[in-house]
Amino acid sequence: MKDILFKLIPGPIKQSLKARIANTLGGHVSILKYHPEEYGRASFSLPQRYHNEGASDGLPVPPRPFWIGYGNDFGDKGKEWYITKGKRDVDRMLEIVTASGFSLTPGSRVLEMGCAAGRMIRHLNSFSESCEIWGVDVDATLINWCKHNISPPFQFATTTTIPHLPFADSYFDFIYTGSVFTHIDDLAESWLLELRRILSPEGRLYVTIHDRHTIKMLDDGYFYDKTGYFTDKNNKEVHLTTTLNSDATYRSEKDTFGMLVIGRDYGSQVFYDVEYFRKMVVPMYEILSITEEAYGYQTAILLKKVADNHSQAMIETG
C-alpha cells in the first residue's frame, strides 16, 4: 500500500522528499530551522562564566570557536583581527549609510540580522545609550553568549530560517545584514519582504552579497590582512575558492548566471548578477547605492523601502 501511495506522488515532490531524507540521514539536518543550544542532548545548562578571549573596546571577546572564521587562522593576532575586521566593516557601512543622507539619532532603533557573537554589533556601542539596538541569529549558542556577555548594552533573540521576525511593523530605522544573503537560497525574496515589513518608511536596509566582482576577486587570488583588506599573501582566501571551483555547476555557470547557488540550506554560497538582484528588489525597495568591496570581497547594497499602494493612498488622502 505504501509503495502504491509513493508512486502517486508527483516526480518533483518525490525527488524533494528523497533529498531531504538523504540529507537528514547523511548528518545534515535540513529540517532544523535554527541551531539549538547543545543539539542532540535532552538537557543542557548555560555557564555562569564563559572562557572568553579577554576584553577589547570595553566588551568581552567571545571564545575562538564562536568567531565563525573571522580571525581563527591568525594565531596570536586572531583576537586583534577579529576586532579590527568588525570595526572596519561597521565603519565602512556607516560611511555608505551616511552618504545616503541618513544617520542614527537618539531614539533610533537598529537591528542586525545574523549577528553571530556580536563581531559587528559591538562597534555600535557608542550609540547604545541613546538607541535601541537588537541582534538576532539562528544560532542559539551564539545568541546565548551575547545575552550573557554583551546585554546590556544590546538586546538579542534567537530566530529561525523561516522568514519571520518577532517585531512590529516599521519598528526599525536601520537594519543591516553582513554576509547573510550570501547564504539564503530559496527564501531570499520572502526575507526581503519581511525586512521591508519591519523597516520604517524613511529607514535604511544594508545588505551584502556575492556578485560577479566577488568572483573576479577570488579568481584573481586576492588576499586579506588583519585590517580586513586583501593584501597579505600569507592569508590568501583559498577555502571558498577551492570549494567553488570543485563544483561543476559553478564552473559551467559562473559566467552566465542570474543567481547561482552552490550548496544548500545552511551550507549554501549564493551569488547574484547585480542586474538580477536589482530586478528582484525593485518592487520592494529603492536602491540607493551599490558599493563593491564594502565587506571584504562582498558588495554592499543600500536600500530604502517602497511604500505599498494602500499606505501611499492613505497618506495622500489623509
C-beta atoms surrounding 238 within 10 Å: 11
Q: Does the pLDDT value for residue 18 go beyond 60?
A: no
What pLDDT was estimated at residue 224?
Answer: 53
* Pick from 18-32, 114-128, 276-290: least confident: 18-32
Band (pLDDT 50/70/90 cuts) for residue 267 is: confident
Cis peptide before 10 (omega within 30 of 0): no
Query: Which residue has better confidence, 10 or 137?
Result: 137
Distance CA 307, CA 175 (A): 17
**Segment 86-115 mean pLDDT:** 97
What pLDDT was estimated at residue 234?
Answer: 41
Domain 55-317 grouped into CATH 3.40.50.150: yes
- Work out whether strand 269-272 and strand 259-262 pair parallel, antiparallel, or are unpaired: antiparallel
Q: Where does residue 15 rank: exposed (0-12), middle (13-18), buried (19+ CB within 10 A)?
A: exposed
Give residue limits of the domains in the chain: 55-317
Helix (H) or strand (E) holding 172: strand 172-177
| Cα Rg of the chain (Å, integer) | 21
Q: Are 190 and 280 in contact (CB under 8 A)?
A: no
Distance CA 241, CA 218 (A): 6
Residue appearing with cell numbers 526575507: 191
Band (pLDDT 50/70/90 cuts) for residue 315 is: very low
What pLDDT was estimated at residue 309?
Answer: 59
**Segment 160-188 mean pLDDT:** 97
Q: Which three cell numbers stand for residue 261?
A: 547557488
Q: Does the pLDDT value for residue 253 go beyond 90?
A: yes
**Segment 219-243 mean pLDDT:** 59
Query: Which residue has better confidence, 309 or 67?
Result: 67
For 267, phi and psi rounded to 5 degrees?
Answer: -95, 10
**Segment 120-148 mean pLDDT:** 97
Q: Are 156 and 111 in contact (CB under 8 A)?
A: no
Q: Where does residue 237 rank: exposed (0-12), middle (13-18), buried (19+ CB within 10 A)?
A: middle
**Segment 93-97 mean pLDDT:** 98
Burial 162-187 (b: 16+ CB within 10 A, else e): ebebebeebbbbbbbbbbbbbbbbee
Q: Does the pLDDT value for residue 12 go beyond 90?
A: no
Look up the pTM and report it.
0.85
Burial 111-125 (b: 16+ CB within 10 A, else e): bbbbbbbbbbbbbbe
What pLDDT was estimated at residue 265?
Answer: 77
Which 3-state string (H, E, C) describes 117-155?
A: CCCCHHHHHHHCCCCEEEEEECEHHHHHHHHHHCCCCCE
Q: Does the pLDDT value for residue 263 go beyond 80?
A: yes
Q: What is the mean pLDDT of the chain?
A: 86
Model confidence pLDDT, tens digit, residues 187-219:
999 999 999 999 999 999 999 999 999 999 888
**Segment 257-281 mean pLDDT:** 94
Helix (H) or strand (E) holding 68: none
**Nearest C-alpha neighbor of 195 from the set 217, 177, 208:** 177
What pLDDT was estimated at residue 27?
Answer: 42
